[in-house]
Structure formats: C-alpha cells, structure tokens
C-alpha cells in the first residue's frame, strides 16, 4: 500500500476505541474525508448554502473526475445520487420492458433490486430468470449462455452480495455479453473500495455504488456509471430542472451526460466527501489494499473454523473481505450485541435481504464480520479470543 498501516490507523481515529468489522455496512471514514465534509458544512453555516456551493463549484465538478478514475470511465459518464439504491433505480426503471421480455439475475441478488424486478414484471409482463450457480455458489457462466436469447433485455447482478464473501465472476459474464444487446447492470455496492474496478474490463454497461461502505465515504450519497452508448438511448424515469431544461411551455430537453440521472437537491457536503473518499482510495492503492483485506478475511475464516460450534457460511471460489458465520446456541443478533458491548463491531444479515440465497442454503440469519485494509492481525486475534470466551 502507498500508505503505511500506522498512517492509515492514525487517520482513522475510531480504530483506537474499538474493533470495527462492519465495513460492509459503514466503514470508518478517514480524517481527510471527515475534514472535507465538516469544512463545507462550516462554510454553509458562514455564507449560506447556495453561496457555499458556488464557492466550491470547481471542487464539486472535480468529484466526477475522481470517480471516473476510480472505475475507469469518463467523467461525463458519471452521476452522483442520494444513495446507491437511487442510482440503481434510475438506471433500472429507464430500461424499456414489454410482455415476454426477460430479466436475468443471480441467486445472491439484493432484496431492494429484486423487489424492483417484481414490481416492474407485474406492471409490464416481463419475467425474471434466476441464473444457476456453479458448484461453489457463484453464477455459472454456462447458465447465462443458455438463457441468452432475443427476449433478454437486462442482465443485473450484484458483484459482491451482502451476505457472503463471494465475489461473482462479473468480468467473465461481461465478456459473454459483449455481443448481446441486453443491458448489463452491475451492483457494485460492496465491491467499490474493496476490489479494483474497471468498467471496460468488467464489460458492464452501467455500474452503481455507494459511498458509505468499503469506499469509506459519508452516508447519504452514491454514484453511477453509464456508458456513453447507453446514455444516448436512455431517458430517466423522472426528471427535474437539473436533469432537463424546460425549453418552451410544452417542451423540454434532457441533458446528454450522466447528470441526466441526478436531481438538483443533494447532500453537497457528502458529494465532496465522496470525491475525497475516491481520491483517498486511489492514494492508498487499490490493488495492494484489496490484497490486504482479502488476506485478513482469509485469516479470520481460518480462525473461525477452529472454534467449536462455529460454522463459516461463505461461498464462492473467489472470496473478499466479508466473512459470514453462525454460532451454535447463539442468535446472530444477540451475538452481535454481546460483541458490541465488548467494543467489537460486526453485523447480521437476514433472509429478508437475500431471500433466494438464504432460503436455498436454509439460513434465516448469519453474523457478518467485514474487514478492511486498516484492520490488523491483532484485532482478528482479539476478536477470535473474545468470541471463544463467549462460547463457554
């Protein structure tokens, strides 16, 4: 990594107070990100909201360049939104669907996305096809090939699910879709900041992500990438005076760049924080930081395997920084609280957030320990010792 572990932890004050293994929920923001947000809020307090935004117009525009560098696209292909769900919805609801059209997705798909599939299929007569997993639990590329026909309008998967360490073969699927006209939408909520992303290599037509998870930015902001080819074809499901111009009493013109998917009102301080978080990730070094967090997660899984009554629930050949497990005799939510009282943060995932996958594996709820590059081997050891003590 381009920063030492000592520097990273010094810039992450929360590390001094507790062990934070909930980076898949909200990571601890580094001080430079917090400073940007707080400085802007103070400026708003001093000069007014509109005036502060005008004074920081250059910095706000540079956010698009920072995000473009992070995912390997052009700044005009980026939009900043209120959250990742809004980013995903703006793209998904812009895709025309007719009776008989098909949406291909994965078994690990997130609840918010799948609910949207159900709603639109009910309204349009389209249908959902869930791709088959391979023997490791990842999407089987052969299943995608078997279902690719003229009726497929959309292929939408999550890169990394909320309830497992699995990393889906998004790049391999993108290569198979290269010559197919379907829209390839990749939910990168858990992967941005966790693994290096390059939309050209991934082959996706669009990608959506959040600020608050592995990217270590503030809450209340997200972003999307949409390829130039599709930008020219799609009209957002709703517009405002930021996304379009009211040209005559009965006419309007939609803007041509990614900002067509935005709305005027946004958490401006959060937008600046998102841009700084993207720059911070690039400063740390995506390849090295990803290797470190994957290794830390691997060590955690190995330690959990050795504890009596603990079952690691991760699937997939390629696994990232999310570690899921269950403990005999403990409800996940109760274990989470017991660890929190001992200054260790984990989280839980229930069947409500990933119903298809959890039901297929007969799981109602799992514990989730999600590690980041600023965590340490000593923290893993303390977590395992504390957990072992609770098992007695």
The tally of domains found in the chain comes to: 2
What is the CATH classification number for the domain harbouring 58? 3.40.640.10
Q: Could you read off the pLDDT of 300-324 as tens digits, one per residue?
A: 999 999 999 999 999 999 999 999 9
361 and 242 both lie in a single domain: no
Range of the domain at 16: 5-26+285-391
How far apart are the C-alpha atoms of 138 and 232, rounded to whole Å? 33
* Residue 74 near residue 231, CB atoms below 8 Å: no
Among residues 285, 63, 76, which one has the least CA distance to residue 193?
285
Q: Could you read off the pLDDT of 373-387 as tens digits, one per residue?
A: 999 999 999 999 999
Q: Is pLDDT above 80 for 41?
A: yes
Q: Could you read off the pLDDT of 219-271 as tens digits, one per residue?
A: 999 999 999 999 999 999 999 999 999 999 999 999 999 999 999 999 999 99
The bridge status of strand 152-158 relative to strand 322-327 is: unpaired
267 and 301 both lie in a single domain: no
How far apart are the C-alpha atoms of 23 and 114, rounded to whole Å? 23
46 and 142 both lie in a single domain: yes
121 and 174 both lie in a single domain: yes
340 and 276 both lie in a single domain: no
Q: Could you read off the pLDDT of 313-365 as tens digits, one per residue?
A: 999 999 999 999 999 999 999 999 999 999 999 999 999 999 999 999 999 99
* Residue 14 near residue 28, CB atoms below 8 Å: yes
How far apart are the C-alpha atoms of 298 and 161, rounded to whole Å? 17
End of a domain among 227, 260, 283? 283
End of a domain among 255, 283, 311? 283
279 and 303 both lie in a single domain: no
Q: Could you read off the pLDDT of 61-113 as tens digits, one per residue?
A: 999 999 999 999 999 999 999 999 999 999 999 999 999 999 999 999 999 99
How far apart are the C-alpha atoms of 159 and 109, rounded to whole Å? 9
Three-class secondary structure of residue 272 per DSSP: helix
């Amino acid at each position: 990594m381009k920063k030492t572990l000592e520097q990273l932890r010094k810039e992450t004050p929360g590390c001094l107070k507790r062990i934070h293994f909930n980076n898949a929920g909200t990571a601890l923001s580094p001080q430079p990100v917090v400073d940007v947000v707080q400085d802007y809020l103070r400026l708003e307090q001093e000069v007014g909201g509109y005036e502060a935004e005008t004074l920081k117009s250059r910095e706000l525009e540079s956010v698009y360049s920072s995000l473009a560098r992070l995912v390997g696209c052009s700044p005009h292909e980026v939009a900043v939104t209120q959250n990742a769900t809004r980013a995903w919805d703006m793209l998904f609801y812009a895709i025309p669907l007719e009776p008989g059209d098909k949406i291909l997705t994965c078994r690990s798909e997130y609840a918010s996305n799948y609910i949207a599939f159900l709603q639109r299929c009910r309204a349009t007569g389209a249908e959902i096809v869930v791709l088959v997993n391979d023997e490791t639990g990842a999407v089987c590329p052969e299943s995608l090939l078997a279902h690719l026909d003229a009726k497929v309008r959309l292929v939408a998967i999550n890169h990394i699910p909320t309830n497992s360490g699995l990393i889906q073969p998004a790049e391999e699927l993108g290569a198979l879709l290269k010559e197919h006209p379907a829209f390839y939408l990749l939910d990168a909520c858990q992967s941005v900041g966790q693994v290096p992303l390059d939309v050209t290599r991934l082959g996706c037509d669009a990608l959506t992500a959040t600020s608050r998870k592995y990217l270590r930015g503030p809450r209340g902001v997200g972003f999307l990438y949409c390829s130039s080819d599709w930008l020219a074809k799609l009209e957002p499901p709703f517009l405002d005076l930021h996304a379009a111009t009211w040209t005559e009493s009965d006419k309007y013109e939609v803007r041509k760049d990614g900002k067509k998917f935005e709305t005027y009102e946004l958490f401006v301080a959060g937008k600046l924080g998102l841009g700084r978080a993207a720059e911070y990730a690039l400063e740390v070094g995506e390849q090295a930081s990803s290797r470190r967090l994957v290794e830390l997660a691997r060590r955690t899984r190995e330690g959990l395997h050795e504890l009596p009554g603990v079952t690691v629930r991760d699937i997939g050949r390629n696994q990232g920084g999310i570690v899921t497990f269950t403990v005999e005799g403990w409800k996940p939510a109760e274990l989470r609280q017991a660890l929190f009282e001992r200054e260790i943060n984990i989280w839980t995932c229930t069947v409500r957030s990933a119903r298809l996958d959890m039901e297929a594996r007969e799981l109602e709820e799992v514990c989730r320990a999600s590690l980041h590059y600023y965590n340490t081997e000593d923290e893993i050891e303390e977590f395992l010792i504390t957990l072992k003590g609770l098992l007695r």
